[in-house]
């Protein structure tokens, strides 16, 4: 199987690109899947300049991760059937990761597989969900429990829809971009941290170039480990502690955005990397400053350490029930996976995290 998306397009001419794809494939009908928000704010807008979108059938799903369910997929299948989709039809998913994950799964399983194109409309979906071929839904209260690896025929990544995103959503996606810049020295972490992410500056071609570099890091990794058996685990950087923060916050009734949790998790895991593998601190301090200034801090005290450690041990990507393992850094771009870290080191890193976050 070719592990890469056939057509990974970075362009703010979304209409021109989707029309070109429609012309090339000449599908028996185009079916646009969007949630109630994107249907109004994005699809209607695209329909004014794209003949493919203007002439497409529409399938609208409820918004939010809570509706990423088999019931919603069943509704999509019913609509595809009712509106006469054939194996030669084309599905176009327009929205955040929820829509592209679920729409991709519905398309990949209808009549044993329709072609689909993803047009992510959030920064997080652009830099995280757009490549890697993960499609799926939540099931039985487990996230992404059902799904399959299946690449879109094309993904069109643009920054032109970001103007309607709340700043919190931009920052959520930006945390994954920071992670990619840590994993791959070619991205230029310094450049990224100096880039302007104040309102209104992230829709242009400069920011699109940052997004492109970020996506290529993930593309490069998943192409070498499509089914997530080894190398791909380095994308888990920041997530072991990040998921613990996220679950901890949820338990205390004050949920935090996933991207924010990853940002704070990255700071902590880089500190663990320093203590374990000698990662230089001059990489960590500017990053911690940037994150504190833009994301604020997740406030924890020593009293939270036992439950945080317990949560890290139960993370679904943790490899052993008796130890806490991490993907850690020796230097920018030099990652080691599956490293067991003792609880004392983790506690010490959390102490320094609190110092750097002025807690």
List 95, 147, 173, 259, residue binding a copy of itself (CB under 8 A): 147
List 45, 58, 62, 111, residue binding a copy of itself (CB under 8 A): 111
The yes or no reply on residue 25 touching a copy of itself (CB under 8 A) is no
Size of the site for a copy of itself (CB under 8 A): 25
The yes or no reply on residue 321 touching a copy of itself (CB under 8 A) is no
CA–CA separation, 312 and 281 (whole Å)? 24
Residue 117: strand pairing partners: 92, 154
CA–CA separation, 304 and 223 (whole Å)? 39
Which part of the chain contacts a copy of itself (CB under 8 A), choosing from 92-100, 144-152, 189-197, 235-243? 144-152
Q: What CA–CA distances, in Å, run from 9 to 158, 201, 273?
A: 8, 21, 35
Q: What is the DSSP letter of 357?
A: T
Map residues 55-74 to x or -, x wherever contact with a copy of itself holds by CB under 8 A.
---------------x---x
The yes or no reply on residue 344 touching a copy of itself (CB under 8 A) is no
List 49, 144, 223, 294, residue binding a copy of itself (CB under 8 A): 144
How far does CA 287 lie from the centroid of its chain?
A: 20
CA–CA separation, 202 and 209 (whole Å)? 10
The yes or no reply on residue 140 touching a copy of itself (CB under 8 A) is yes
List 32, 108, 181, 335, residue binding a copy of itself (CB under 8 A): 108
List 146, 256, 339, 348, residue binding a copy of itself (CB under 8 A): 146
Q: What CA–CA distances, in Å, run from 97 to 150, 180, 202?
A: 15, 18, 19
The closest of 265, 271, 356 to 315, measured between CA atoms, is 265
If you write DSSP's letter for every residue of 151-201 in order, what string do you get? --SEEEE-STTGGGS-HHHHHHHHHHHHHHHHH-TTS-HHHHHHS--STTS
Question: In angstroms, what is the minimal distance from the CB of 352 to a copy of itself?
Answer: 35
List 7, 37, 67, 109, residue binding a copy of itself (CB under 8 A): 109
Question: In angstroms, what is the minimal distance from the CB of 210 to a copy of itself?
Answer: 29
Which part of the chain contacts a copy of itself (CB under 8 A), choosing from 14-22, 139-147, 240-248, 267-275? 139-147
Retrieve residue 305's tokens. Answer: 């350490």
Strand segments, DSSP code E, in 208-280 are none
User: Which residue's entry shows tokens 């829509």?
Assistant: 99
The yes or no reply on residue 305 touching a copy of itself (CB under 8 A) is no
CA–CA separation, 134 and 173 (whole Å)? 17
Q: Which is nearer to a copy of itself, 139 or 292 (CB)?
A: 139
CA–CA separation, 332 and 45 (whole Å)? 41
CA–CA separation, 292 and 341 (whole Å)? 25
CA–CA separation, 328 and 318 (whole Å)? 13
Q: Which is nearer to a copy of itself, 11 or 223 (CB)?
A: 223
The yes or no reply on residue 5 touching a copy of itself (CB under 8 A) is no
The yes or no reply on residue 173 touching a copy of itself (CB under 8 A) is no
The yes or no reply on residue 224 touching a copy of itself (CB under 8 A) is no
Query: Are 37 and 98 within 8 A, CB to CB?
Result: no
Q: Which is nearer to a copy of itself, 123 or 131 (CB)?
A: 131
Which part of the chain contacts a copy of itself (CB under 8 A), choosing from 18-26, 90-98, 137-145, 184-192? 137-145
List 227, 251, 252, 289, residue binding a copy of itself (CB under 8 A): 227
Query: Are 171 and 260 within 8 A, CB to CB?
Result: yes
The yes or no reply on residue 78 touching a copy of itself (CB under 8 A) is yes
The yes or no reply on residue 322 touching a copy of itself (CB under 8 A) is no
Q: Which residues bind a copy of itself (CB under 8 A)?
A: 1, 70, 74, 77-78, 81, 105, 108-113, 134, 136, 139-140, 142, 144-149, 227
């Amino acid at each position: 199987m070719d592990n890469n998306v056939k057509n990974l397009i970075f362009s703010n001419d979304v209409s021109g690109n989707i029309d070109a794809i429609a012309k090339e494939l000449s599908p028996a009908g185009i079916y646009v899947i969007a949630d109630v928000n994107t249907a109004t704010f994005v699809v209607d807008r695209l329909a004014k300049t794209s003949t493919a979108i203007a002439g497409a059938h529409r399938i609208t799903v409820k918004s939010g991760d809570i509706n990423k369910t088999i019931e919603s997929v069943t509704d999509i299948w019913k609509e595809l059937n009712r509106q006469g989709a054939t194996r030669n039809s084309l599905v176009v998913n327009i929205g955040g990761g929820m829509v592209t994950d679920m729409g991709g799964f519905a398309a990949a399983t209808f009549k044993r597989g329709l072609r689909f194109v993803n047009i992510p409309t959030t920064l997080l979906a652009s830099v995280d969900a757009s490549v890697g071929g993960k499609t799926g839904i939540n099931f039985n209260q487990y996230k992404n429990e059902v799904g399959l690896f299946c690449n879109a025929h094309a993904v069109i990544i643009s920054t032109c829809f970001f103007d309607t995103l709340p700043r919190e959503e931009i920052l959520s996606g930006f945390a994954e971009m920071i992670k990619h810049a840590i994993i791959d020295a070619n991205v230029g972490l310094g450049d990224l941290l100096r880039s302007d992410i104040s309102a209104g500056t992230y829709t242009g071609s400069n920011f699109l170039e940052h997004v492109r570099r970020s996506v290529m890091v993930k593309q490069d990794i998943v192409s070498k480990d499509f089914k997530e058996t080894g190398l791909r685990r380095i994308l888990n950087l920041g997530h072991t502690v990040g998921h613990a923060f996220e679950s901890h916050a949820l338990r205390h009734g004050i949920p935090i955005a996933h991207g924010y949790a990853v940002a704070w998790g990255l700071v902590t895991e880089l500190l663990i990397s320093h203590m374990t593998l000698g990662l230089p601190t001059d990489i960590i301090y500017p990053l911690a400053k940037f994150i504190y200034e833009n994301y604020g801090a997740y406030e924890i005290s020593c009293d939270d350490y036992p439950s945080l450690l317990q949560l890290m041990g139960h993370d679904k990507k943790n490899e052993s029930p008796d130890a806490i393992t991490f993907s850690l850094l020796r230097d920018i771009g030099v990652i080691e996976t599956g490293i067991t870290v003792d609880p004392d080191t983790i506690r010490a890193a959390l102490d320094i995290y609190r110092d750097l976050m002025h807690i």
